[in-house]
Amino acid sequence: MTPSLRTGKLLRAAAVRLDSPEAHAIPISPSDEARALIRCSEVVVRSLTGGYPVRVGHGARRLLPAAVAAASPSGRCALISDERVAGLWYDRVAEPLEREGVDVVPAFFQEGEANKTRATWARLTDVLMKAALGRDCCVVSLGGGVVGDVAGFVAATFMRGVPFIQVPTTTLAMIDASVGGKTGVDHPAGKNLVGAFHAPREVLADPAFLTTLDRDLRAEGYAEAVKHGAILDAEYADWLAACAGALLDGDGDTVERAVVRSVQIKAEVVSGDEFEAGHRQILNFGHTVGHALELDTGYALPHGHAVAVGMVAEARIGEALGITADGTAEAVRAMVAAFGLPDRHRSLGRAKRLAGLMARDKKTRSGIVNMVRLEALGRTAAGDKTTVPIPEAELISTLKRLFR
């Protein structure tokens, strides 16, 4: 038995059953067969474009034909995936669409962060052009965070923007990346530096996809869940640590509860600050250092590992600067360790180089690195105090002191 988790705390974005009256706030019309098969929780993300549902549950992928029908007046969609995911899941996802008469245009690219590039964006866009898709099509992303980011950017830019549906297939993408409407690609100068905000019409998070994901990749995704607990919900953080074994083993109910809780937290934050003018920046906890580590290793360090190391490092920097309560870094380290994720990396020892890479972060202002102001486990500063500026010399000396 895993410990219970309260999912209603703190947040206004509520999880509701698909078959409850509240679920009809955003109408969908799945077939009777689909309705029978599905027992989804739903979290609604508020957005300037009207808001969208994130449906979480085993069988959620069976709602895709209805979602495409609602998003694509032409009944045509581009299904963007990477080669690996496509090999495992494309037929099972495309066939039900084609049975419903949807014209599916497949568009695949080689998996991996190294391919989250402008070149991949251009090639995928060419596939859509060649298939003569128009503004009345939609784009479906089938894959992890890399696929979601690239496919979302294709959708944001194709014909000046077409509707986009996210079908995340990794823990990381279900828990975090598929929600919030950030799309884009990397640039040699830094991560995610070319992109657009483009909210999805719908997110269908079906934990069944995780059955083909190996344990290491499953673990990686929980770095983002630890982040959600660390920044906003200490009780969730404790629950995650207690349930790490069940989550890594893929226990269905426990995984679903973690996805729902993380999506609630992310939904609440991004609903209040869709375009990251302020408070949303707290979701970058661990990413200022994490992105610098990814750059330093040429993306050999997986994103989840970089975020895990980054969270521990940023909590330690926060403690050293007196902005984070003592003991927080150790608590974050213990959570990360519970998932078998790394808590240190040799690149941390190269203070000057790392500080230079951190300065390429999108939160950098006038050359000064801004780091998320974590006050204690489960608590970040609000309003205009969300981040703390750290002058380069202070950053370098702190890094040297902590990680030499």
Ligand X SMILES: NC(=O)c1ccc[n+]([C@@H]2O[C@H](COP(=O)([O-])OP(=O)(O)OC[C@H]3O[C@@H](n4cnc5c(N)ncnc54)[C@H](O)[C@@H]3O)[C@@H](O)[C@H]2O)c1
- The residue from 146, 205, 312, 354 that contacts ligand X (CB under 6 A) is 146
Taking the CB of residue 168, how many other CB atoms lie within 10 A of it?
Answer: 29
User: What does R_g of the chain's alpha carbons equal in angstroms?
Assistant: 20
CB of 142 to ligand X, least distance (A): 9
Catalytic annotation present for 284: yes
Helix H or strand E segment including 153: helix 145-157
Q: Is 280 annotated as catalytic?
A: yes
Answer for the pair 264, 9: CB distance below 8 angstroms, yes or no. no
Q: What CA–CA distance (Å, rounded) separates 211 from 189?
A: 36
Question: Residue type for 202, please?
Answer: E
Q: Which of 61, 201, 257, 303 is catalytic?
A: 303
**Residue list 171-200, contact with ligand X (CB under 6 A):** 172-173, 176-177, 180, 182, 192
Does residue 209 interact with ligand X by CB under 6 A?
Answer: yes
Interface residues for ligand X in 304-333 (CB under 6 A)? 304
35 contacts ligand X (rule: CB under 6 A):
no
Structure tokens, 128: 């859509």
Question: Under the criterion CB under 6 A, does residue 147 sit at the interface with ligand X?
Answer: yes
Among 88, 323, 388, 396, binds ligand X (CB under 6 A): 88
Residue 198 annotated among the catalytic residues of the structure: no
The minimum distance between CB 173 and ligand X, in angstroms, equals 4
Q: C-alpha distances in angstroms, 29 versus 62, 135, 364, 400? A: 12, 23, 45, 58
109 binds ligand X (CB under 6 A): no
Q: Report the candidate in 236, 214, 212 with the shortest Cα–Cα distance to residue 224.
A: 236
Token pair listed for 388: 């703390």
Q: At 250, give phi and psi (nearest 5°).
A: 85, 25
How many helices (H) and strands (E) the chain has is answered by: 14, 14
Going along 231-325, which residue ranges are E strands? none
- Clarify whether 116 is annotated catalytic: no
Among positions 218, 228, 303, 373, the unique one binding ligand X when judged by CB under 6 A: 303
Contact 174, 221 (CB under 8 A): yes
Q: Does residue 192 have an active-site annotation?
A: no
Any catalytic annotation for residue 224? Answer: yes
Residue 85 as a binder of ligand X (CB under 6 A): the answer is yes
φ, ψ for residue 311 (rounded to 5)? -65, -45
Tell me the number of residues near ligand X by CB under 6 A: 30
Decide: is 220 part of the binding site for ligand X (CB under 6 A).
yes
Least distance CB 191 / ligand X (angstroms): 6
Task: Name the residue whose CB lies closest to ligand X.
Answer: 145
Would you count residue 361 as binding ligand X (CB under 6 A)?
no
Catalytic amino acids? 160, 182, 224, 266, 276, 280, 284, 287, 291, 303
Which positions lie near ligand X, rule CB under 6 A? 82, 84-85, 88, 111-113, 116, 143-147, 149, 169-170, 172-173, 176-177, 180, 182, 192, 209, 212-213, 217, 220, 303-304
